[in-house]
Structure 1
Amino acid sequence: MVILRIMLCGFLLASGIFTLLVAIYSFRKRDPATNYFAVFSLSITFYSLGYAMELYSDTLVRMRFWNFVEYIGLPFLPALWLVFTFEYNNKHIGLIEKLCIFMIPFMTFIFRVTNSLNHFYYLSVKVTSNYYFPVLYIEKGPWYWVHALFVTSCFIVANYVYYAVYKKSIGPIRRQGAILLIASLLPWVTVVLDLLNLSPLDIDYGPFAVTSSVILFFIAFLRYHFLNIKPLARDKAFELTNDGIIVLDTNYNIIDFNPSAVVICNDLRENVIGKDVQVVLGRYKGLVYSILNEAESQCDLEDPKGNYRVNTVRILEVNHRQVGYLVTLTDITKYVNMMQELNHLASRDALTGVYNRRYFVELSSREIVKAKRYNHALSLIIIDLDYFKQINDTHGHQAGDLVLIEVVKCCRNSIRSIDIFGRFGGEEFVILFPETNLGECNIIAGRILKNIENTIVSYENKHIKITASLGVTGTNFLYNQSLDIFLKKADQALYQAKSEGRNCFRCLEL
Structure 2
Amino acid sequence: MYYSSDFAVGKINSYCYFRIKNCLLELIKEMKSMLNIFVWIMIFSTVVSIILMIYAVATYNSERSFFLIFSCICTFLYSFGYLLEIISPTIEAAFMGVRVQKMGSPFIVLLNYLFMRDVYGEKRFGTKGYCILFALPVFNLFTAQAFPWIRLHYTHIEYFWDGLIANCQGTLGPVGILAIAYHFVLAFLTILRILKHLKNESGLLRYQNLCLLASVLIPLFVNIYHTLSYDYLRIDLNPFAVAVGQSLLLYSVRKQNLLHVVPLARAQVIESMTDAFIVCSRDFSFLDANQAAKQLLPELNSLLPGESMGKLKQIKNEAELYLEKNGEKRFYKITKTDILQNSKNSGVCILLHDITDKERQLKKLYNKATFDSLMHIYTRAAFFDLAQFMLTPDKVRIYSYTLLMIDLDHFKNVNDTYGHPCGDIVLETIAVIVKGHFFENDIVGRYGGEEIAVLLENISAGQMAEKVEKLRTIIENTRIPYQGNDLNITVSIGMAYFPAGKSQPLENMIERADSALYKAKNSGRNRVYLYEEKGREV
Normalising to structure 2: TM-score of the pair? 0.75
Could you tell me which of 124, 131, 138 is aligned with 1:109? Answer: 138
CA-atom RMSD, angstroms? 4.3
**Partner Cα distance (2:525, 2:283) in 1:** 76
Alpha carbons 2:49, 2:243 under 8 Å: kept: yes
What is aligned with 1:345? 368
How far the C-alpha of 1:17 sits from its partner, in A, is 5.8
Amino acid of the structure 1 residue aligned with 2:508: I
**1:20/1:102 CA distance change after superposition, 3 Å:** farther
Distance change in 2, residues 1:126/1:285 (3 Å): closer
User: Which of the residues 46, 58, 62 maps onto 2:77?
Assistant: 46
Larger radius of gyration: 2
CA distance in structure 2 between the aligned counterparts of 1:100 and 1:131, rounded to whole angstroms: 43
Cα distance change of structure 1 residues 477 and 12 upon mapping to structure 2, 3 Å threshold:
closer
Hey, what's the Cα distance between the residues in 1 that align with 2:305 and 2:365? 42
Q: How does 1:71-90 map to 2 (within 5 A)?
A: 71-88=102-119
Q: Give the Å deviation of 1:9.
A: 7.3
| Partner Cα separation in structure 2 for residue 139 and residue 469 of structure 1 | 113
2:80 and 2:404 mapped to 1: Cα distance?
98
Match of 2:10 in 1: none
Cα 1:369–1:321 shift into 2, 3 Å: closer
Q: Distance in 1 between matches of 2:222 and 2:501?
A: 94
1:215 matches 2:236? no
The 1:230–1:186 alpha-carbon spacing in structure 2 relative to 1, beyond 3 Å, is: farther
Contact 1:72–1:109 (8 Å) recurs in 2: no
Partner SS, residue 477 of structure 1: coil
- Cα distance in 2 for partners of 1:136, 1:168 equals 45
User: d(CA) in 1 for partners of 2:424 and 2:340?
Assistant: 63
- Pairing partner for 1:25 from 55, 68, 75: 55
Where 1:201 maps in the other structure, the secondary structure is coil
Once the two structures are overlaid, the 10-residue window that deviates more, 202-211 or 387-396, is: 387-396
> Cα distance, 1:204 vs. partner?
5.0
Distance 2:488 2:241 in 1: 98
1 CA distance for matches of 2:193 and 2:78?
21
> For 1:451 and 1:146, how far apart are their aligned partners in 2?
98
The structure-2 alpha-carbon separation of the partners of 1:429 and 1:98, relative to structure 1 and needing over 3 Å to count, comes to: farther
Deviation, structure 1 residue 81: 1.8
- AA at the equivalent of 1:139: G
Matched, 1:188 2:220: yes
Q: 1:169 to 1:160 in 2, by over 3 A?
A: same
Question: Structure 1 residue 482: deviation in Å?
Answer: 1.8
* Per-residue Cα deviation, 1:223-243 (whole angstroms, up to 9, x for no partner): x37887345648234444454
Counterparts of 1:388 and 1:121, CA distance in 2: 113
Partner of residue 93 from structure 1, selected from 100, 111, 122 = 122
Alpha-carbon distance in structure 1 between the residues aligned to 2:226 and 2:186: 12
How far has the Cα of 1:272 moved from its partner?
Answer: 5.8
Report if aligned partners of 2:191, 2:213 keep a CA contact under 8 Å in 1: no
CA contact (8 A) 2:143 2:152 kept: no
Q: State how far apart, in whole Å, the 2-side matches of 1:82 and 1:474 are.
A: 86
Q: What amino acid sits opposite 2:244 in the alignment?
A: S
Does the residue aligned with 1:380 lie in a helix, a strand or coil?
strand
DSSP 3-state at the match of 1:185: helix
Cα drift, residue 495 of structure 1:
1.1
The reply on whether 1:35 has 2:59 as its aligned counterpart is no
1:101 to partner: Cα distance: 7.6
**d(CA) in 1 for partners of 2:186, 2:391:** 83
C-alpha displacement at 1:469, in angstroms?
2.5
Contact 1:78 1:155 in 2 (8 A): no
Further displaced range: 131-140 or 468-477: 131-140
How far is 1:405 from its partner?
Answer: 1.5
> Contact conserved, 2:46 with 2:79, CA < 8 A, in 1?
yes
Cα deviation 1:414-465 (Å, max 9, x = unaligned)? 3332321101112211111222234333333334334444455555667665
Q: Report SS of the residue matched to 2:368.
A: helix
SS at match of 2:107: helix
Question: What does residue range 358-507 of structure 1 map to in structure 2 within 5 Å?
Answer: 358-369=381-392, 372-373=395-396, 375-393=398-416, 395-455=418-478, 457=480, 466-507=489-530
**d(CA) in 1 for partners of 2:224, 2:261:** 31
Equivalent residues of 2:461, 2:497 under 8 A apart = yes
The C-alpha deviation readout for 1:277-298, integer Å capped at 9, x for no partner, is: 4xx41x776435x2xxxxxx42
**8 Å Cα contact 2:400-2:503 kept in structure 1:** no
Query: Gapped runs of 5+ residues in structure 2?
Result: 3-29, 534-538
For 2:348 and 2:478, locate their aligned partners in 1 and report how far apart those are by CA, in whole Å: 65
Instruction: Please state whether the residue corresponding to 2:366 is helix, strand or coil.
Output: helix
| Paired amino acid for 1:92 | G
Q: Contact 1:86/1:92 (CA < 8 Å) preserved in 2?
A: yes
Post-superposition offset of 1:492: 0.6
* Distance of 1:41 and 1:432 partners within structure 2: 80
The runs of 5 or more residues in structure 1 that have no matched partner are 291-296
CA distance in 1: counterparts of 2:153 and 2:263, whole angstroms:
43
Aligned partner of 1:287 in structure 2 is 315
Deviation of the 1:489 alpha carbon: 0.8
Q: Deviations over 1:137-192 (max 9, x none)?
A: 11345744651442342342255257548x6125xx66565444322211211332
Partner amino acid, structure 1, of 2:228:
L
- Residue of structure 2 equivalent to 1:357: 380
Shift of 1:353: 1.4
d(CA) in 2 for partners of 1:262 and 1:152? 34
Alpha-carbon separation, structure 2, partners of 1:19 and 1:447: 93
Mapped to 2, the partners of 1:121 and 1:267 lie a distance apart of 64
Task: Give the match for residue 294 of structure 1.
Answer: none
Hey, what's the Cα distance between the residues in 1 that align with 2:191 and 2:458? 81
Aligned residue among 250, 256, 274 for 2:306: 274
Query: In structure 2, which of residues 144, 148, 173 is the aligned counterpart of residue 139 of structure 1?
Result: 173
The match for 1:236 among 248, 251, 268 is: 268
**Structure 1's 227 and 81: CA in aligned 2 closer, same or farther, altered over 3 A?**
closer
Q: How many residues align?
A: 490
**149 and 257 in structure 1: CA distance in 2 versus 1, 3 angstrom threshold:** closer
Cα deviation, 1:354-381, whole Å, max 9, x if unaligned, reads: 0011221122223333784463332121
Q: 1:66 to 1:104 in 2, by over 3 A?
A: farther
Cα separation, 2, equivalents of 1:417 and 1:120: 100
